Amino acid sequence: MNRKELGVAVIGSGRIGTLRARLAARHPAVKFLAISDLDAGRARALAERTGANVYSTDNLEMISRPEVNAVIVSTPEHQHVEPVCQALELGKPVLMEKPLGLTLKDADQIIDTVKKTGGDLRIGYIRRFKRCFARAKQQVLDGHLGKISGGTARVYNTRAQAFEILKRNPEATPVIDVLTYFVDLMLWFNAGNPPREVVARGQMGIFKEAGYNIHDVTWAIVTLADGAVINLGISYALPADYPILGQSDRVELLGSEGTMIIDDDHREHLLYSEQGVAHAYVPGHKIKMSFSGSNPSGDWALGDYWGPLGNETRLWLDHLVTGNPIVHATPAEARLVLETTVAIERAVATGERVRLPLET
């Protein structure tokens, strides 16, 4: 087995970029670490925290470093295209945050670059790397459900986190930015059975009053090629002090030979503290009661990072070193997920059923 040393450039030093950089710095194969962020202070702070070798406000400068042979793109969604394409054109494998783009045009520009360069690109859909969902995929592969006829996935969160996301990027709607994880899960479970039709409805209120043209609640019915029916729902409008620290979700699959119900609401671990529990995503926001474990990326505990984002990052780095196969989303899978979320939003906006594939 051929093993190699890694030089990793982390582009973007926000919350997720910081986690990725800290995880990369601790990986035994990573011998060189470069940090880039448009904000010089943030780039310097993360470089100092991780012991990075270099940092810059120039993404291309860090991506082009000869010591760098792998790139993690953790910029805001609307800034994905340029650094991803630059890295691919230089022949460097890339792990980028979801979604593949905010528009199909952006996604297709990235995919065209992958095809032109023969590049290695994976997209970070961390729910695949949570134990309950990875186990569910294996149970589907083992045939325990038989032929899948339908299913449901819904996710809730609070307006405190929604406003934080919208402050970063007003175009990152709950459907495009969050429901995308569960669209990915359901399409992953139903691999080879693509969506063909979407019907969806939404309700506006809280966010519209705050000046954002997005829905408080969205529900969709997605019909797959073989007629299987998937129900998908999201609300990021729960009260700010509701006990969720990230995501409260539930996933169900129905098949000819069985059923699977995954309760991921995190109500099994309640924490109450008069000191308040800090929210990992919303700076300065504390709640007295929380569902521990509801942060979807994971948690720091006993000096290490435990959870899906840690699993996803380490397995990608391991793959680069050993060549072992991985289940990270491919560009084709990520584009299908994006197309489905775009179709959901179109169906809500028009009140009409939307056929897939979309005409772009």
Q: What is the pLDDT along the chain (360 residues), one digit of tens a residue?
A: 456 899 999 999 999 999 999 999 999 999 999 999 999 999 999 999 999 999 999 999 999 999 999 999 999 888 899 999 999 999 999 999 999 998 999 999 999 999 999 999 999 999 999 999 999 999 999 999 999 999 999 999 999 999 999 988 888 899 999 999 999 999 999 999 999 999 999 999 999 999 999 999 999 999 999 999 999 999 999 999 999 999 999 999 999 999 999 999 999 999 999 999 999 889 999 999 999 999 999 999 999 999 999 999 999 999 999 999 999 999 999 999 999 999 999 999 999 999 999 986
Q: How far does CA 131 lie from the centroid of its chain? A: 16
Q: Calculate the dihedral angle through the C-alpha atoms of 110, 115, 116, 118, rounding to the nearest 10 degrees.
A: 110
User: Which helix (DSSP H) or strand (DSSP E) does residue 316 occupy?
Assistant: helix 308-322
The DSSP result for 319-330, as a single string, is: HHHH-----PBP
Q: DSSP letter for 78, please.
A: G
Model confidence, pTM: 0.95
The rounded distance, in Å, linking the Cα atoms of 55 and 41 is: 10
**Under DSSP, is residue 157 helix (H, G, I), strand (E, B) or coil?**
strand
CA–CA–CA angle 73, 76, 80 (5° rounding):
50
Q: What share of the chain is helix, strand, coil (3-state, %, to 5)?
A: 40, 30, 35
**Cis peptide bond prior to 296, omega within 30° of 0:** no
Indicate the burial class of 302 (C-beta count within 10 angstroms; 0-12, 13-18, 19 or more). exposed
CA dihedral 237, 241, 243, 245 (to 10 degrees): 70
